[in-house]
């Protein structure tokens, strides 16, 4: 009977919808002031309730870092031990300390953590590659290649692990400087590696950055086509990424490279908007369009770095009013587009085939999974 260790970072992902792009340091307190709600407990519960096997036991962190969620899940009877102590609010040291206990004192067979890149770094610092680790995505950015694509996919990987039907590989733990990120600068560093159970198509890759003069020309052509074909009196919600923000550059208006901006009739009406601002704009105008680009290498169009465009907003805008754009080089490297909004209904609504604008008036069709 294999033993699974479970650690939940209860504050991971809280900054997303309120536009903070993370919860490192004092950003957690600011997220609370802005009305942010916990994300990780719900994601952890979805993961646990998606597991259909029963031949495992769980050792959990205390309280909100795992115990509370396990007891609410369909696998509450599998909780055999609670280890460590935590502070309120929880700290990175809580994660590090409990990870060490689980691995070196309790000898868990697999350590599952629910969080983002910062949590992955804490796990890596604590246990290195001593045992396999599986990340359940719940952060804002999640550039690291140690996360399942979704809580459901994490459950599938766990089931295969229990069957001894996985291979183990070393994958990169990447993270960004969140202070620089909030200043619209993307600084990504490789910190370490974790050993993970790998199943193709169920684990996300690390983020790839595409640069060069050909890329710039391609982005410009995409922006020109969008601007020339914009509907009048319609708000355009522009997601993060240099491909999308080429629209702002073309119009000569301010933008946030890593945030969400809104324009109407070629004018900026909201810069670095959060979910609440976007909902107010949609309510005022009664309509909107969304422009997003997939994360390079990972293929996510919703659920990674653009949580401000929440399931509520996607529902109101509708699938037919979503425009996906990508440079030709990036789209060639992406087998599938992916969504992980946290709302199963919205994810299902978005799945299927969708057109992707890759040049001036040129599209390819990609499958969203």
User: Does residue 98 contact residue 7 with C-beta atoms inside 8 Å?
Assistant: yes
Q: What is the DSSP string of 1-29?
A: -EEEEEEE-TTTTTTTTTT-S--STTHHH
Could you read off the pLDDT of 208-248 as tens digits, one per residue?
A: 667 778 899 999 999 999 999 999 999 999 999 999 999 99
- Give residue 262's pLDDT: 98
- Give residue 87's pLDDT: 86
Mean pLDDT of 88-104: 95
Could you read off the pLDDT of 264-281 as tens digits, one per residue?
A: 999 999 999 999 999 999
Average pLDDT, the chain: 92
Same fold? 2-198, 213-368: yes
- DSSP annotation of 101 reads I
CA distances from 85 to 3, 15, 169 (A): 20, 25, 31
User: What CATH class is the domain 2-198?
Assistant: alpha beta
pLDDT at 29 over 80: no
Mean pLDDT of 289-295: 95
| Phi and psi, residue 236, nearest 5° | -110, 115
Beta bridge partners, 270, equal 262
| Phi and psi, residue 268, nearest 5° | -80, 130
For residue 43, whether the previous peptide bond is cis, meaning omega lies within 30 degrees of 0, is no
| CATH number listed for the domain at residues 213-368 | 3.40.50
Give the DSSP H or E segment for 148.
none
Secondary structure of residue 326 in the 3-state scheme: coil
pTM of the model: 0.83
Boundaries of every domain in the chain: 2-198, 213-368
């Amino acid at each position: 009977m294999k033993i699974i260790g479970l650690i939940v970072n209860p504050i991971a992902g809280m900054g997303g919808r309120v536009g903070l792009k993370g919860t490192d340091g004092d950003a957690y307190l600011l997220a609370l002031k802005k009305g942010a709600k916990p994300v990780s407990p719900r994601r952890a519960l979805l993961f646990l309730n998606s597991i259909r096997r029963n031949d495992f036991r769980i050792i959990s962190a205390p309280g909100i870092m795992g115990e509370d969620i396990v007891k609410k899940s369909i696998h509450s009877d599998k909780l055999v031990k609670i280890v460590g102590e935590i502070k309120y609010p929880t700290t990175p040291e809580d994660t590090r300390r409990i990870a060490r206990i689980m691995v070196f004192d309790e000898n868990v067979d697999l350590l599952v953590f629910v969080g983002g890149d910062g949590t992955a770094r804490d796990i890596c610092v604590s246990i290195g590659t001593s045992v396999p680790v599986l990340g359940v995505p719940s952060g804002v950015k999640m550039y690291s290649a140690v996360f399942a694509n979704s809580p459901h996919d994490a459950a599938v990987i766990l089931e295969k692990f229990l069957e001894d039907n996985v291979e183990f590989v070393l994958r990169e733990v990447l993270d960004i400087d969140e202070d620089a990120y909030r200043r619209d600068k993307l600084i990504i560093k490789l910190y370490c590696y974790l050993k993970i159970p790998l199943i193709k198509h169920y684990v996300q890759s690390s983020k790839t950055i595409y640069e060069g003069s050909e890329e710039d020309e391609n982005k410009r052509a995409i922006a020109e086509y969008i601007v020339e074909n914009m509907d009048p009196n319609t708000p355009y919600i522009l997601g993060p990424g240099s491909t999308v923000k080429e629209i702002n550059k073309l119009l000569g208006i301010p933008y946030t490279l890593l945030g969400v901006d809104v324009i109407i009739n070629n004018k900026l009406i909201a810069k670095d908007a959060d979910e609440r601002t976007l909902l107010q704009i949609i309510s005022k105008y009664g309509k909107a369009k969304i422009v997003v680009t997939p994360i390079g290498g990972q293929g996510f169009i919703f659920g990674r770095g653009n949580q401000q465009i929440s399931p509520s907003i996607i529902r109101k805008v509708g699938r037919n009013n979503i425009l996906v754009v990508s440079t030709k080089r990036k789209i060639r490297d992406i087998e599938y587009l992916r969504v992980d909004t946290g709302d199963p209904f919205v994810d299902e609504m978005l799945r299927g085939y969708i057109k992707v604008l890759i040049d001036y008036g040129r599209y390819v069709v990609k499958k969203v999974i």
